[in-house]
Chain A
Amino acid sequence: MLKRLLKNPLSLTGIVLLVLFFFMALAAPWLAPPAKPCPSFVYYIVPDWLLRPFMKELPCEPFRIPRDGFRATPLPPDPQAWTTFPPRLKDESGRMLHPLGTTENRYDIWYGLVWGTRTALIAGILIVGCTLLIGIILGAISGYFGGWVDSVLMRGVDFVLALPTFLMTLVILSIWGRGLDKIVLVDILFGWAGYARFVRGIILSVREREFVAGAKALGASHWHIIFRHVLPNSIYPVLILASLDIGSIVLGLSGLSFLGLGQGEDYADWGQMIAFARNRIVGVAGGDVMQYWYTWVFPGMTITLFVLAWNLLGDAVRDILDPRLRGMR
């Protein structure tokens, strides 16, 4: 499968882009080092919205973008930051340099994009991982046992699928308040149903195979059969298709933070950076329209390439897994 993906120019583009994005996320502390180093590597990996419930005070928040003064107007990119790679964020005199300029309110765009990649991938992987886990467990139970267990679980799935996810997100955020932690939680609450139904379908077809009957005849327990025999023989397409959902999940997250429902304005999050660009697309009155081009070009391009990469890869993978589903999602 990998060979076919690498041969197709479209999916190859997708893979190359995704490798770049993963590199950006992994190398974030090197590409855009925070002003003061954190006391523990944990702060680099676990975002503050996950740490907050467990710690009263956070000594270090690398996901918050450094701010250069308190003026509202954006600053243009500094070419002298690019004399080295990774670009310098400070010159010899300690003045801040901005490799890609700043957004409105002077948040560094380079820093925001690099750490925003980390935010996007952490949130995306977390959501897909949790929904998948719930989906697989419930789907496997439902498909394997059948009968009333199946009916009850599948009515639950029907109900969750009937709820309008985006609208329910708004309702819940209006009660709990904004924040990525809440958005992630809501996505998990409403996201598992599709996977559960999908897994159930696969389990139903595997359940009747000889090796399951064989395991039963040998006296294996239900759990042993489900997790050692049934799931390993049916899980791979589910895992692959689910991991491709990261692109659209990140798109949803950044849409919500564009609306102002994310972590707040200094947080490294692509949607938030686009929201800043909105006020600057026409430059200043009577001046050059393109004066603040960097505020919307860089964040806009980053998020578009990210989604494009997942879509390119996703299309190719779906074609290989099931040619009849070509182009449908």
Chain B
Amino acid sequence: MLGFIIRRLLFLPFLWFAITLLTFLLLEPLGPYQRVALFINVNPEQAFGGKLTKEQLQRLIEKYGLDRPAIEQYIRWIRQVFQGNFGWSKVAQKPVFEAIRERLPATFELGLYAVLPVVLIAIWLGVLSAVHHNKPLDHTLRFFSITGYSLPTFVFGIFVLMFFYGILGWFPPGRLSFWAERIVYDATQFTRYTGLNTIDAILNNRWDIFWDALRHLILPVLTLSYLSWAGLQRVTRSSMLETLRQDYITTARAKGLTERVVILKHGLRNAMIPVTTIAVPTVIGLMLSGVVITETVFNYKGLGLLSVDATLQFDVPMVLGFTLIGTSLIVLTNLLVDILYVFIDPRVRYD
């Protein structure tokens, strides 16, 4: 088992290496002057008193070897990365590493509230749907699930925003109200332990801020989770239906076990096997693109919104930073799923 985990973890640096190398090869057709803006660590405007002459640019290009072949530039860049320098983000106006550290908690908070309820509620509803196969409850749940995976995230987000903000005025967009923002970012009044506003508010014993942060989180979380919820519920339902037809379920019922034990212990445990392998990686993939779109719809200042701005403004180092984090997330979740798999399906052995 340990050997398996280590082998899988070794895959991650390989993937990072491949993605970054690919990026450098794609940068090759650009000229050295276009590249100069992307790969230097200091803000050129500040470093040269706001005036950059052609000779100075030329000197910069030579200093950082931007006119050299892609491979040589890549080795140079890798060396810097090992020293903890991921480059300068034009959009965030700070080093990429700092920008990520600043924005990651917001996205993490969104993902945290979106993933856990989704998995639990979707599985629960999927089981309900299967147990009440072809009854009104099943039809209702299937209707919501089929509309769920047909409504694009951005359309759904705009619809809920229109209803809950435009008409009802309950849940505003953004991450915090203006008054709350002033308190949260004021170090004398508020200590930011984790960067997750809801948790920090509890730790600071500021329930008004907790409520404000929650109010801003509800719609993005709903939007981000609806699509995944619909997919996961569908897979659970069909897998559960398949399982409930098996002979051992009949045997379990014949033994006189209660329906609850039959469904949860004999049914669900077996039904979870395809759910974990197929659905969880799909959900993570959906969430990554979903988080970018959701943050854009709700103007929620997290990593996804920053990456879209970065993409639109040719801020390659920033996008690359986001991509490496996203890739790590995917690889690590897949690993976690494979480990969980051993506990869900005792027949699986990795050694």
Contact = CB atoms under 8 A, between A and B. Distances in A.
Given A175-B30, A259-B308, A274 B326 contact: no
Contacts of B330: 164
A9 interface: no
Interface string A161-189: 01110111011111111100000000000
B216 to A, nearest CB: 16
A308 B150 contact: yes
Interface stretch (B39-47, B79-87, B193-201, B233-241): B233-241
B314 A166 contact: no
Contact of A281 (B152, B162, B288, B319): B162
B285 A166 contact: yes
Interface in A205-253: 251-252
A312 interface: yes
Contacts, number: 141
B274 interface: yes
Nearest to B328: A164
B312 A277 contact: no
A162 B165 CA distance: 39
Nearest to B298: A278
A289 B307 contact: no
B19 A171 contact: yes
Interface residues of A, number: 47
A327 B234 contact: yes
Contacts of A251: 152
A33 B296 CA distance: 34
A304 interface: yes
A254 B311 contact: no
Contacts of A283: 166
Interface in A240-272: 251-252, 254-255, 258-261, 271
B293 to A, nearest CB: 6
A174 B238 CA distance: 40
Contacts of B274: 328
A175 B23 contact: yes
B292 interface: yes
Nearest to A307: B150
Instruction: Provide the main secondary structure of the chain B interface.
Output: helix
Contacts of B331: 162
Interface string A95-138: 00000000000000000000000000000000000000000000
Contact of B152 (A172, A254, A289): A254
A329 B27 CA distance: 35
A164 B146 contact: no
Contacts of B307: 170
Contacts of A81: none
Contact of B26 (A164, A175, A300): A175
A303 B158 CA distance: 13
Interface in B288-343: 288-289, 292-293, 296-297, 307-308, 310-312, 314-316, 319-320, 322-323, 326-327, 330-331
B110 interface: no
A174 B288 contact: no
Q: Which of A168, A175, A252 has the most CB of B within 10 A?
A: A175
Nearest to B162: A281
Contacts of B316: 171, 174-175
B161 interface: yes
Contacts of A300: 155, 158-159
A282 interface: yes
B75 interface: no
A326 interface: yes
Contacts of B146: 308, 311-312, 315
A170 B307 CA distance: 8
Most buried by A among B167, B315, B323: B323
Contact of A311 (B149, B237, B289, B315): B149
A41 interface: no
B151 interface: yes
Interface of B: 11, 15, 18-19, 22-23, 26-27, 30, 146-147, 149-155, 158-159, 161-162, 165-167, 231, 234-235, 237-239, 241-242, 274, 278, 282, 285, 288-289, 292-293, 296-297, 307-308, 310-312, 314-316, 319-320, 322-323, 326-327, 330-331
29 contacts: A164-B326, A166-B292, A167-B288, A167-B322, A167-B327, A170-B319, A170-B322, A171-B19, A171-B26, A171-B319, A172-B26, A175-B23, A255-B152, A255-B289, A271-B154, A274-B154, A277-B158, A281-B158, A281-B161, A281-B162, A281-B166, A289-B167, A296-B162, A304-B151, A304-B155, A307-B152, A315-B146, A324-B242, A327-B238
